[in-house]
Amino acid sequence: MNNPAKINYPINNLTQNRWSPRAFSEKKVEKEKVSSILEAARWAPSAFNEQPWRFIIGHKGDSTYDSILSTLVDWNILWAGKAPVLILNIAKKTFTQNGGQNVTFKYDLGQAVGLMILEAVNQGLVSHQMSGFDANKAAELLKIPDDYQAVSVTAIGYYGNIENLPEDMVTMENKERERNKLNSMVFEGEFGKSMEL
């Protein structure tokens, strides 16, 4: 199922076709595709080229996958448990060079994950990011050091059968995608003064 964004200005196809479905096929994702997705994340920009992102990959059927899945809130487990790949997205909170606080560590991780999910589209896959998980449980189960923080989980796989979802999720899956208008978020001169676009 394609669910392209209804755009007002031309953008690249990967961005237009990226969306966050909950219907995943249990078909395995080829190792080469997972590697390409991670390679895209590797080349994200970051403050002082710190590259604070780290990823723990779980493939359905292995213990890492089960550990990541167990950290999700129940509602996310309902659908994410079908996805063949779960990725725990982690970032280092301090700079390696001097130990100082990296105030953009989550921002930098977000850029890496953003490139990751665009590459997923390029590989013919879909993805869905989640903040509904227990970061402390993830740190304990997966032995994440104190200087790192688990920030989110990404499900990746092939699009599946919408009929396998609970009814409320089917409604969400079929809902038209929406975004706020550009003039509600792009300002000129001062905050809140809409820019003419």
CA distance 102 to 94: 5
Q: What is the CATH number of the domain that holds 44?
A: 3.40.109.10
User: What pLDDT digit, counting tens, does each position of 19-54 carry?
Assistant: 999 999 999 999 999 999 999 999 999 999 999 999
Q: How confident is the model at residue 178 (pLDDT cuts 50, 70, 90)?
A: confident
Average pLDDT over residues 65-73: 98
Count of structural domains within the chain: 1
Q: Is 15 within the bounds of a domain?
A: no
Q: Which residues of 118-154 are buried (b: 16+ CB within 10 A; e: fewer)?
A: bbbbbbebbbbbbeebebeebbebbebeeebbbbbbb
Task: Determine, yes or no, domain membership for 93.
Answer: yes
DSSP class of residue 147?
T
Decide if 195 is inside a domain: no
pLDDT in tens, 139-166: 999 999 999 999 999 999 999 988 888 8
Least confident of 64-68, 127-131, 137-141, 173-177: 173-177
Confirm whether 104 is domain-assigned: yes
pLDDT of the residue at 110: 98
- Asked, for residue 191, whether it belongs to a domain, the answer is no
Question: Which band of pLDDT confidence, cut at 50, 70 and 90, is reported for residue 167?
Answer: confident
Supply 165's token pair: 């979802």
Residue 1 scores a pLDDT above 70: no
Query: Which residues face 89 on adjacent strands?
Result: 55, 152
Comparing C-alpha atoms, which of 43, 177, 7, 194 is closest to residue 116? 43
- Residue 14 falls inside a structural domain: no
Residue 168 falls within a domain, yes or no? yes
**Could you tell me if residue 92 is inside a domain?**
yes
| pLDDT (0 to 100) of residue 175 | 83
CB 126 within 8 A of CB 160: no
Percentage of the chain beyond pLDDT 90 is 83
Which domain, by its residues, includes 130? 22-184
